[in-house]
Amino acid sequence: MTESRNVVIGVSGGIAAYKACHLIRDFKERGDDVRVVPTPNALNFVGAATFEALSGNPVDTGVFTRVDEVQHVRVGQEADLIVVAPATADVVARIAAGRADDLLTSTILVATCPVVVAPAMHTEMWLNPATQANIRTLRVRGITVLEPAHGRLTGKDTGPGRLLEPVQIAELARTVAETGPLGRGLEGKQVLISAGGTQENIDPVRFIGNRSSGRQGFALAEIAAHKGARVTLVAGDTDELYAPAGADVVRVRSTRDLEVEMNARAVDADVIIMAAAVADFRPASESASKMKKGRDTDALTRIELVENPDVLRGLVDQRRAGETAATIVGFAAETDNVLDNGKAKLKRKGADMLMVNSVAGGAVFGQARNSGWLLGSDGSVREVPDGPKHVVAARIWDAIEAFGLPDPRELAN
Ligand code: CTP
């Protein structure tokens, strides 16, 4: 497990400042030492007493308090991670300009640790060229600026600019603390990911399913979205998970539904990841009415199964037929001879990469952590060390980017 960190949570003056309270609790519950540094305006929304009580540390906004402790330098120097949430257009502009006119901006100017900024503002302010230029400046300097969520803003309007949920910000910030800034290598790329388990109906109340939670697929989609990709997530049965910022989420149940959605969307995709736990077999027939014990015992104890289409192989065939140029990545869960089975499966499926993990003893499914090996069709074998599924997702994306994405010029032909 990771050790505790000195986390600075910067809060600026927006309505979403109240959500910072949940963020503080999230880090505190994991054992981190949290120091809240609000801007003076943030205190118009949430009082210093709330931040002090939740963090267990004093709260100051200016550079002229506790001067004997040289706070305006020390807070930044001692931080292991800085998260600014919510970040208004104004604080983004001040960070971009290198200002140090309050304790938060001077802390960021001093810091050498990872800095994660979670913007929250009205859509017009977010899309304004001045804000977009400031965001680019921050990113070029190695600050991770998360994409805002799309949704209901203060008032009646909806659009991009909503603060991400605190659990999403915390998970992404911890990922950045472990792997470094999320680069923008997927800017303009179209990413198609399947996640979760499929359900194959026996009758209106019964189905054949599996234990997949969808967490790894959602984490891959979320990291891709914050690396600049346009993301479509085709999701089967999953735990209750937050939709990644800006992603188009398409819900499916059966393998055949999933196949239809993936095949249709593959054409525009630059990267396709099959993280779904697809049922290999389905009942040969689905009863239109509920099957009954007694009357249908014979049929229920002898459910005949037929093989489902192999979606991954179908996508590879689509590429062979020139219908997509996407880089194609599969997953494999194995219980024994993990590496050898994985290598054989990569070859059989014809994908570019395969993330193989060991599921012996109930590992991985439904768990918060994952590990394994990433195999490339070029013969490469990369070990992915044990870590939270978001950290694993960030490492998988690094490997996919290193493997190579389709060249836009080839796509144009
Ligand atoms: N997959 C698929 N369609 C299927 C079965 C699997 O697209 N009908 C995909 C999965 O999403 C995964 C990869 O293929 O990306 C490997 O899945 P896995 O279940 O490990 O492979 P199988 O082909 O079912 O092989 P086996 O049963 O021999 O382990």
DSSP letter, residue 274: E
> How many beta carbons lie within 10 A of that of residue 180, not counting itself?
13
Phi-psi bin for 327: left (phi > 0), alpha (psi -120 to 50), beta? beta
Q: What's the token pair of residue 18? A: 């109240």
Residue 2's pLDDT band, with cuts at 50, 70 and 90, is low
Q: Cα(227)–Cα(397) distance, rounded to whole angstroms?
A: 9
Please determine, for residue 78, whether its predicted confidence score (pLDDT) is greater than 80.
yes
Angle, CA 193 vertex, CA 141 and CA 413 arms, to 5°:
80
| pTM for the predicted model, two decimal places | 0.95
Atom of ligand 1 nearest to the CA of 329: 15
b/e sequence 122-149, b meaning 16+ C-beta within 10 Å: bbebbeeeebeebbebbbeeebbbbbbb
What long-range pairs does 278-281 form, CB within 8 A, spacing at least 24?
278/194, 278/198, 278/308, 278/311, 279/197, 279/198, 279/199, 279/200, 279/208, 279/209, 279/210, 279/254, 279/255, 279/308, 280/307, 280/308, 281/200, 281/208, 281/305, 281/306, 281/307, 281/308
Nearest CA to ligand 1 atom 6: 278
Nearest CA to ligand 1 atom 21: 332
Q: Hey, which of 199, 200, 212, 312 would you mutate to test ligand 1's pocket, going by the most ligand atoms within 8 Å of its Cβ?
A: 312
Atom of ligand 1 nearest to the CA of 311: 7
Q: Cα(89)–Cα(128) distance, rounded to whole angstroms?
A: 10
Mean pLDDT of 57-77: 92
Mean pLDDT of 116-130: 97
Nearest CA to ligand 1 atom 18: 332
> How far does the centroid of ligand 1 lie from the alpha carbon of residue 349, in Å?
9
- Asked whether 310 lines ligand 1 (CB < 6 A), one says yes
Read off the amino acid at residue 9: I
Is 44 in the active site?
Answer: no
Atom of ligand 1 nearest to the CA of 332: 20
User: What average pLDDT does the chain have?
Assistant: 94
Nearest CA to ligand 1 atom 14: 312
Please say whether the beta carbons of 182 and 394 come within 8 A: yes
Residue 125 is predicted with a pLDDT of 97
Residue 412 is predicted with a pLDDT of 47
pLDDT higher for 98 or 366? 98
Residue 406's pLDDT band, with cuts at 50, 70 and 90, is confident
Residue 230's pLDDT band, with cuts at 50, 70 and 90, is very high
Tens-digit pLDDT profile for residues 345-393: 999 999 999 999 988 766 666 788 999 999 999 999 999 999 999 999 9
Domains of the chain: 6-179 (3.40.50.1950), 190-408 (3.40.50.10300)
Please say whether the beta carbons of 121 and 130 come within 8 A: no
Query: Do the annotations mark residue 233 as ligand-binding?
Result: no
Q: Sign of dihedral through CA atoms 51, 52, 57, 60?
A: positive
Query: Do the annotations mark residue 189 as ligand-binding?
Result: no
Query: Do the annotations mark residue 312 as ligand-binding?
Result: yes
Please say whether the beta carbons of 343 and 372 come within 8 A: no
Residue 159 is predicted with a pLDDT of 87
Please determine, for residue 303, whether its predicted confidence score (pLDDT) is greater than 90.
yes
Query: Do the annotations mark residue 349 as ligand-binding?
Result: yes
Phi-psi bin for 9: left (phi > 0), alpha (psi -120 to 50), beta? beta
Tens-digit pLDDT profile for residues 64-73: 888 888 888 9
Q: Which of 41, 44, 57, 210 is catalytic?
A: 210
Mean pLDDT of 168-197: 97
